[in-house]
Each structure stands twice: as C-alpha cells, then as structure tokens.
Structure 1
Amino acid sequence: MDLSYEGLLALIESFSDNQLLVMLAITIGTLILEDAATVTAALLASEDVLPHSAALLSLYVGILFGDLGLYGLGAAAARWPRARRWVSEHRIMRGREFLEGSLFVTLFGARCIPGMRLPTYTAAGFVGIPFPRFALYAGALAAGWSTGLYTIIAILGETVLNELGPWRWGVAAFVIALAIVLPRVTEKIIKSRSQKAAAPTDTP
C-alpha cells in the first residue's frame, strides 16, 4: 500500500465514488467515537470527498441513533426484574422527578461532560422519562453540539489545512487523535477531582 501523501489522497478519492459508503462509515463511527467521527466528517467534506449536507446528515443519524439506543437500554433494563431489585422504587421515583424537572439542563450537561452521556441517557430510560420528550431534547442537543464542532473543524479545514500542502494530512490526523484523547483525559480529571472531593478529610 502506498502510504505517501499522493497514495493517501488517491485512497480517499477512491471512496468518493461511493458516497453512501462514506456516509455509512461516518454514521457507524459516531457509535464508536462521536467527536472523532465529527472531526473526520468535517475534514472529509473540506476535501470535497463528501458534501457538507451529506456529512452532517450522517452525523445526525448516527448520534441520534446512539442516544436513543442508550435510552432504550435503560428502558429495557427497567423491565428486567433483577435490575428493578437493584434500585428501590423510591429512588426511581426521585430520579424521575428530578429528570422531569430539569431534563434539558441535565441532558445538556451530560452532552458537554465526557463520560456522562451513557449513565444519564440510560437513567432517563430506566426511570421512565417519556420517550417523545427525551427524543426531542436529545435530538436538539445532538444537532447543536455536532453542528457547532463540525462547523469549527470545517472552517479550519478549508482555511488552514489547505495551506499546509503535504503536511495537512499529518495535521488532520493529529486533530482526530486529539478529539479521541482529550475527552478521555478530561473524564479522568473530573473523576479524580470528584473522588478527592468525596474522600473524608482527617481531623485532628
């Protein structure tokens, strides 16, 4: 395989003959690493491999499918007797009341803070938040978040990366790697600080 700049460019251009395949890859990618898939989609569109509208549509479908899937997992667990025994009815009612009163804010926070989307979206399904309301809020937040990140990367791709010539793919790879690593590092920092804050302090 030719790993030179020209070879990589030719490989990417070969996929442009089947844009549905590229769109499917982006959609599946959001289920694995959402931010990295968003960055990749924006960079591919900046290289005219895919229209921006098609790239965004692929992101929306994948992200919303993933969000609704997390809700569905929680809802399915709520119908499993063993899972119901792990959580008391009182705690379920308290969780439902809390989410019903601040659903949008809670989902927004989960969208912004790395590592919080899985437990929050699953909990929404488990405690019985109405599906239409959850889907509306989750869809709006997914569209806003992904569109914002996509737009920033697309602008950078069209104005900065194109000026870098053969170096642009190296920079693009670095940006994608950063999108993969940074949320994980942030999540670990948040967990570490939370554990330190929750740890008992020694009193003389």
Structure 2
Amino acid sequence: MFGFEAGDMATMSWWVLFGALFLTPFLQEDFGVILAATASLAGTAPTVLLIAAILTGLVASDAWKYWMGRLARRYQWAHKFAEKPGVSVAGDLIRKEFLQTMLTARFVPGTRIPTYIAAGFFKAYYPKYVLTLVFTASLYIGVVFSLFHTVGAVAGEEAIVWMPLVTITLLAAYILFRWINHRRKKEGVMTPLTKERDHPMPGMPGFEGTPLEEEEEE
C-alpha cells in the first residue's frame, strides 16, 4: 500500500531517530547521549550512524555558545550571559588550562555553558575550540556507549529497559543536587570555585578597548 515496503519504513524511522539525536543536545546533551546509547544497545540502527548523529548534534549545540561570549564583549544585551555566576571562573581556567577545562566541562553537567561562553569571551582560537569540542564529545560518547554495551553484555536484554532509566535517574539526581546546593549556598555552577573567585568581567585582561569597557570607565 502507498508504494512503501518494510525497508523504506525502516529507513524513514532511521532518519527520524537521527534527526531526534541531532536536535536533543540543544535541549539536554546528556539525555541525547543516553538515548543514542540505548538505541545502539537495542540494535535500532547501526552504531556508527548513531554515533555520527549524536556527535554532530553535540558539536552543533555547543559551537554557537562560543559566539555568545564574543558578542558579550561588545553588546550589553549579550553581556548578561558573561556576567552569569561561574563564567569569570571558567574564563580564568580557560586561559590557563584550556584542554583540561574543556574536558572537565564535558563530563560535569552544569559547567558547560559558562565554559563555552568564557571561551568566546576570552577569544580562544575558534578552530581549536571546535576541534576540542569534537575530541571531548567523542570521548564522552565512547565512555557512555562502552558502559551501556558492557553492562548489556553481562545483564542481557533487560538492560535495554533498566540501564537508561538508572542512568537518567542518577543524572537527574546529580543535577538536582547541584541546583539545591546553588540555591542554598548561593554559589554558581562552577561550585566550589565560584563563591571565592567570581569577579566582574569588564576590567579583565583582554577586555580593554571594547565599548563596554569604555562604559565602565565613564
């Protein structure tokens, strides 16, 4: 009927899945990786294609955050992103330990946005930034996929159901813990560094000569 065969339907479902994997990181990156690993464990689509879809989504969802940092140097409407708790701390770390800071941000939910905005604010070399995104995202995906397949090999088919539920529950609990800690102690996302080391962005090295720096001087 309608000229569709089983193979056509399977191909369409693959494209829907790949599209979802590409878009999900724009909402929540960790959930997207868990979704991709679950689909791989279930054999829904070839693992290499699932990895390609989620990797592309992760990099695309993070690549633009750099430019929010660059815009924050010149425009007041964008500067509010740079003044969020933790961004100045991430900036200090970005300038001193770029790779280590980007790697930490990839594996610690809640620190990514401040780190990526800080990379743009302090004008990290953009090709280097993107290549580092690819490296850290690939490493993260590799760890999660390996974990899912290792547990699946031991636990059997039941792992397809409980493994993603357990992972999502642990992730949600961790994010909730950080949020409660942030609200209770009034610290930023780069806890415990934020409370002691946060500082205004204008006046920092590399910010001289921008319109916002001139406004501060006035």
TM > 0.5 between the two? yes
Matches within 5 A, 1:141-152: 141-152=136-147
Detail structure 1 runs of 4+ shifted over 6 Å in the superposition: 85-88, 92-97
Paired letter, 2:168: A
Matches within 5 A, 1:16-35: 16-18=10-12, 19-35=14-30
Paired letter, 1:117: R
1:94-125 CA deviation, whole Å, 9 max, x = no partner? 98675233111111222222211011111111
Residue 180 of structure 2 corresponds to residue 185 of structure 1? no
- Seq. identity, %: 18
Matches within 5 A, 1:33-44: 33-44=28-39
Q: For residues 95 and 180 of structure 1, what CA distance do their matches in structure 2 show?
A: 22
Residue 90 of structure 2 corresponds to residue 99 of structure 1? no
| Runs of 5+ unmatched residues, structure 2 | 1-7, 197-218
Aligned pairs, number: 180
Residue 166 of structure 2 corresponds to residue 175 of structure 1? yes
Q: Indicate the residue corresponding to 1:126 in structure 2.
A: 121
Q: Indicate the residue corresponding to 1:55 in structure 2.
A: 50
1:148-175 CA deviation, whole Å, 9 max, x = no partner? 112211332344241x3xx953x25523
Q: For residues 37 and 124 of structure 1, what CA distance do their matches in structure 2 show?
A: 23
Q: Check 1:86–1:109 CA distance in 2 against 1; reply closer, same or farther (3 A cut).
A: closer
Paired letter, 2:26: L
Per the alignment, in what secondary structure is the counterpart of residue 78 of structure 1? coil
Higher helix share: 1
Partner of residue 65 from structure 2, selected from 70, 88, 107: 70
1:55 is displaced (CA, Å) by 0.9
| Runs of 5+ unmatched residues, structure 1 | 1-13, 200-204
Q: For residues 87 and 125 of structure 1, what CA distance do their matches in structure 2 show?
A: 10
Q: Check 1:98–1:38 CA distance in 2 against 1; reply closer, same or farther (3 A cut).
A: closer
Q: For residues 174 and 98 of structure 1, what CA distance do their matches in structure 2 show?
A: 34
Q: For residues 160 and 124 of structure 1, what CA distance do their matches in structure 2 show?
A: 41
Query: Alignment RMSD, CA only?
Result: 3.6
